[in-house]
């Protein structure tokens, strides 16, 4: 029996609820595929500040480095939004984890589910058939540059990118495009920013190694517009940290809810898997949090571990829930189903798929 060590970081707000929902599926996977998931839970974010005094302890990083995969919930609490010390904010725990583990690529698939086309604020004919993926650079750029104030009170945030940082995520994006529709769009602001000119230059150089890929470029403001006007034109999008942060959240409207979108963060070592939504502390404990993004993040984790059939089964179970309207209030508009009910329905579907496969 194959054993997998999974570091579980539930985090803040609705994080524990959606991760607990995702974890209920693992015993079914263990039984069907004769594997074992050894779960080790750690603190990160506001809860870590509350209990440990820091958003992420060094020993947690050490444990994560030895894991086969990391499953993360969500991070953030309004009570720390105005903390005078930037390093004492919950989000710094995640930034530190990404940096320490070398998780330089955030991968966010965006799918327009047929059952939810009417739930998106965009017209059905615009989003039908959308299947794109965004590669966001995760450990460089303005989020990790020097921040501060000058003597006269002006604020500054420095954005820096090295050739290595740009090349390694471009390679991943090119390779992803090779496995998909062979189209890659680099999003930048090369008409203004020197860092963007580096991204564009390196993409052109590396494209010689990927002759089957159709490469194009869009300024970020135009890309933001095109994602809304004609998202079907995109296959793989790759961009720098801040642009990717903004565009991937914008693209969530295609699916109909940010609560449906999963993500993976990849690098040279262990992979991290998390829903893209925030901690939504106002919804914690109310049985309204959408567990699907966390469940689909778990499917990405299963695929990463080589359990592709298991991942496909989880995705099929989620699709059954969407097709039959078993969804949480932010999608359905009512409170007929909550977090627990949606989770149980998906769990039942997964168990039925297991029986059918046997």
Given 68, 249, 316, 348, which residue is catalytic?
249
Given 10, 96, 119, 189, which residue is catalytic?
189
Respond yes or no: is residue 113 known to be catalytic: no
Of 249, 230, 257, which is closest to residue 126 (Cα–Cα)?
230
Respond yes or no: is residue 149 known to be catalytic: no
Respond yes or no: is residue 189 known to be catalytic: yes
Respond yes or no: is residue 143 known to be catalytic: yes
Given 188, 235, 245, 304, which residue is catalytic?
245
Given 58, 114, 216, 221, which residue is catalytic?
221
**Secondary structure in 3-state letters for the chain:** CEEEEEEEEEECCCHHHHHHHHHCCHHHHHHHHCEEEEEEEECCCHHHHHHHCCCCCHHHHHHHHHCCEEEEEECCCHHHCCCCCHHHCCHHHHHHHHHHHCCCEEEEEEECCHHHHHHCCCCHHHHCCCEEEEEEECCCCCCCCCEEECCCCCEEECCCCCHHHHHHHHHHHHHHHHCCCCEEEEEECCCCCHHHHHHHHHHHHHHHHCCCCEEEEEEHHHHHHHHHHCHHHCCEEEECHHHHHHHHHHHHHHHCCHHHCEEEEECCCCEEEEECCCCCHHHCCCCCCCCHHHHHHHHHHHHHCCCHHHHHHHHHHHHHHHHCCCCCHHHHCCCCCCHHHHHHHHHHHHHHHHHHHC
Given 80, 113, 143, 161, which residue is catalytic?
143
Respond yes or no: is residue 316 known to be catalytic: no
| Active site residue ranges | 143, 189, 221, 245, 249
């Amino acid at each position: 029996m194959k054993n997998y060590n999974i570091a579980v970081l539930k985090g803040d707000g609705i994080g524990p609820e959606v991760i607990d929902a995702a974890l209920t599926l693992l015993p079914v996977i263990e039984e069907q595929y004769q594997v074992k998931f050894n779960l080790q839970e750690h603190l990160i974010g506001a809860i870590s500040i509350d209990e440990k005094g820091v958003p992420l302890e060094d020993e947690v990083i050490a444990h994560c480095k030895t894991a086969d995969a990391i499953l993360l919930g969500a991070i953030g609490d309004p009570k720390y939004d105005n903390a005078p010390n930037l390093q004492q904010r919950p989000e710094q725990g995640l930034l530190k984890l990404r940096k320490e583990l070398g998780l330089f690529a955030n991968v966010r698939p965006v799918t327009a589910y047929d059952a939810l086309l009417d739930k998106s604020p965009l017209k059905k004919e615009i989003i039908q058939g959308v299947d794109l993926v965004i590669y966001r650079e995760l450990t460089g750029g303005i989020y990790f540059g020097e921040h501060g104030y000058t003597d006269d009170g002006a604020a500054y945030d420095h954005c820096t990118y090295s050739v290595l940082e740009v090349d390694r995520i471009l390679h991943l994006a090119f390779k992803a495009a090779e496995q998909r529709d062979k189209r890659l769009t680099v999003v930048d602001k090369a008409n203004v920013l020197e860092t963007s000119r580096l991204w564009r230059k390196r993409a052109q150089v590396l494209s010689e190694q990927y002759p089957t890929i159709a490469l194009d470029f869009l300024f970020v403001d135009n890309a933001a517009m095109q994602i809304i006007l004609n998202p079907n034109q995109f296959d793989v999008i790759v961009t720098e940290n801040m642009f990717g942060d903004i565009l991937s959240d914008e693209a969530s409207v295609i699916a109909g809810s940010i609560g449906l979108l999963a993500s993976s963060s990849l690098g040279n070592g262990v992979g991290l898997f998390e829903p893209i939504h925030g901690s939504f502390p106002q919804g914690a404990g109310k049985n309204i949090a959408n567990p699907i993004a966390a469940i689909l993040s778990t499917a990405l984790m299963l695929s990463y571990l080589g359990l592709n059939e298991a991942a496909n089964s989880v995705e099929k179970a989620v699709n059954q829930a969407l097709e039959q309207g078993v969804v949480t209030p932010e999608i359905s508009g009512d409170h007929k189903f909550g977090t627990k009910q949606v989770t149980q329905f998906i769990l039942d579907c997964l168990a039925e798929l297991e029986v059918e496969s046997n």
